[in-house]
Amino acid sequence: MYDDTIAAISTSAGEAGIGIVRLSGSEAVAILRRIFRTAARGQVPLESHRVYYGRAVDPSSGAPIDEVLALCMLAPHSYTREDVVEIHCHGGPVPLQQVLHATLRAGARLAMPGEFTLRAYLNGRIDLAQAESVADIIRSRTDRGLSLALKGLSGGLSRRIRELRGELVRLLAYLEATIDFSEDDVPEEDVEGPLVHCLDSVGQLLYTADQGIVFRQGVRVAIVGRPNVGKSSLLNALLRTDRAIVTEIAGTTRDTLEETANFAGVPVCLVDTAGIVEPSDLVERLGVERSRRAIEEADLCLMVVDRSIPLCEEDRSIAATVAGRAAIIVANKADLPPGVSREELESLVEGAPVVESSTVDGRGLEELQKAVLQAVFSGRVLQSDELLVSNPRHKVVLERAGSHLRDALSSLQAGLPADCSASDVRSAIDALGEITGETATEDLLESIFSHFCVGK
């Protein structure tokens, strides 16, 4: 299946200065020759890693399609370790599609999602964890998310996993030797110590997983409260732009509005909601229903109250809805004289910190961002150079490997035969291999690469 030549548009849709059609496979250069013409007479040698100017043409009629630059990267010095060709066209949809169709008529096959990176993995240029980091780079929404993805691509996690697997393989070899040969023929070695060390290593990686996943995927934060307490003003202030309509009229927001902000490298999806009141019409009822759903789906709730007036029954009703969830009380309109005590605000939702803010003069906004991060990370401060597990799949695999190692340690401490511990150690080795790809199944590969974009 992967011995043919594939082609795809590798740049995003829409108008741009440049668009790229990429080919990979043994016939990539031959296909380029069928659709590319230069001003030079005779056949151009098309040397590796040199750029050539010319025209893309229809392979059947020779009719010109676009002025282009052509770049060849011959195996193994390419992204896929196959012959790779890039055709740089003008970045409009029509020339890109026509050049792509020309490559298909000249003998290429349309690439499947992620197939270029899949070939890079299958040809040994990168491992599976690095391949997943490629997708993370493309999807990163903050500088910190990009930094984590680049560390993954450089192989930081892969090296740690390979070291851990190597230690377990050596341990398994000893356990199997004690099974196959009498104990008199095998020098006694410490097994419990290395098992504990490996289990600790897995635990250290898992300790970073929830934080790493937050940097990769972000968090969902619902801004809730009764009408006219300043929810939309707070959204605009946190985004530093007028995204939501703000008026003196209560109930301006009738639907949820979502925008993403960057809080110290964490993508925070802020969801502005309609004021939660007893609905008086169908539209208001639908808005309130969506607000309640936003609370259920959120990782964190910012419950906004008007600090300049006493709390009302509606505030307490919303607080009851938020109770039991991660929440922060935002005492808004702090630029006005207070109408409610700090004690009342702190007792509104048990365990929820209170941040006083003003969207008029900006006070409290920086403190609110810090409070959000404090809630998200449960107070833990991560070092900038710390290796983070940021992929949910990796977290699940590490949890499974840890479970097998605990079982192996329990069997050893209970004095059970060595083959009991060996079986669990072998399972842990196989689980860790799913991260780097040594033990990845075809179904797993299909699941991972199907989420890539076409052309990458």
Predicted confidence (pLDDT) at residue 420 exceeds the cutoff of 60: yes
pLDDT tens across 312-325, in order? 888 898 888 888 88
pLDDT for 258 equals: 84
pLDDT for 293 equals: 85
pLDDT for 201 equals: 95
The phi, psi pair for 299, rounded to 5°, reads: -80, -25
Q: How confident is the model at residue 86 (pLDDT cuts 50, 70, 90)?
A: very high
Q: How confident is the model at residue 250 (pLDDT cuts 50, 70, 90)?
A: very low
pLDDT for 287 equals: 66
Q: How confident is the model at residue 245 (pLDDT cuts 50, 70, 90)?
A: very low
Q: How confident is the model at residue 254 (pLDDT cuts 50, 70, 90)?
A: very low
Q: Which among 416, 435, 433 has a CA at the least distance from the CA of 175?
A: 416
**Superfamily name and number for 219-376:** P-loop containing nucleotide triphosphate hydrolases (3.40.50.300)
Rounded average pLDDT over 35-53: 86
pLDDT for 385 equals: 59
pLDDT tens across 381-397, in order? 555 556 889 999 999 99
Helix H, strand E, coil C: the string for 218-271 is CEEEEEECCCCCCHHHHHHHHHCCCCCCCCCCCCCCCCCEEEEEEECCEEEEEE
DSSP character for 141?
Answer: -
What lies within 8 Å, CB to CB, of 204 at 6+ separation is none
Is residue 96 within 8 Å of 454, Cβ to Cβ? no
Q: How confident is the model at residue 435 (pLDDT cuts 50, 70, 90)?
A: very high
Q: How confident is the model at residue 84 (pLDDT cuts 50, 70, 90)?
A: very high
What lies within 8 Å, CB to CB, of 164 at 6+ separation is 198, 201, 202, 432
Given the DSSP bridges, would you call strands 16-24 and 84-91 parallel, antiparallel or unpaired? antiparallel
- The enclosing H or E element of 120 equals helix 115-122
pLDDT for 387 equals: 81
Q: How confident is the model at residue 366 (pLDDT cuts 50, 70, 90)?
A: very high
- The enclosing H or E element of 211 equals helix 209-217
pLDDT tens across 159-213, in order? 999 999 999 999 999 888 888 776 567 678 888 999 999 999 999 999 989 888 8
The phi, psi pair for 127, rounded to 5°, reads: -95, -175
Share of the chain above pLDDT 90, in %: 58
Q: How confident is the model at residue 292 (pLDDT cuts 50, 70, 90)?
A: confident
Is residue 233 within 8 Å of 249, Cβ to Cβ? no
Full strand arrangement of the beta sheet holding 51-57:
36-37, 51-57, 64-73, 84-91, 16-24, 6-9, 109-110
pLDDT for 242 equals: 65
Query: Which of 58-67, 277-286, 319-328 has the largest mean confidence?
Result: 58-67
Q: How confident is the model at residue 244 (pLDDT cuts 50, 70, 90)?
A: very low
Q: Which among 196, 166, 255, 219 has a CA at the least distance from the CA of 373?
A: 219
Query: Which of 48-52, 187-191, 322-326, 376-380 has the largest mean confidence?
Result: 48-52
Predicted confidence (pLDDT) at residue 448 exceeds the cutoff of 80: yes
Question: At the topology level of CATH, where does 134-208+389-449 sit?
Answer: Four Helix Bundle (Hemerythrin (Met), subunit A) (1.20.120)
**Measured distance CA(195)–CA(429) in Å, rounded:** 12
Residue 115 C-alpha from the chain's centroid: 19
**Superfamily name and number for 6-111:** Probable tRNA modification gtpase trme; domain 1 (3.30.1360.120)
Predicted confidence (pLDDT) at residue 282 exceeds the cutoff of 80: no
For the chain, give every domain's residue range.
Answer: 6-111, 134-208+389-449, 219-376
pLDDT for 251 equals: 47
Predicted confidence (pLDDT) at residue 378 exceeds the cutoff of 70: yes
Rounded average pLDDT over 268-288: 68
Query: Which of 28-42, 103-117, 295-309 has the largest mean confidence?
Result: 103-117
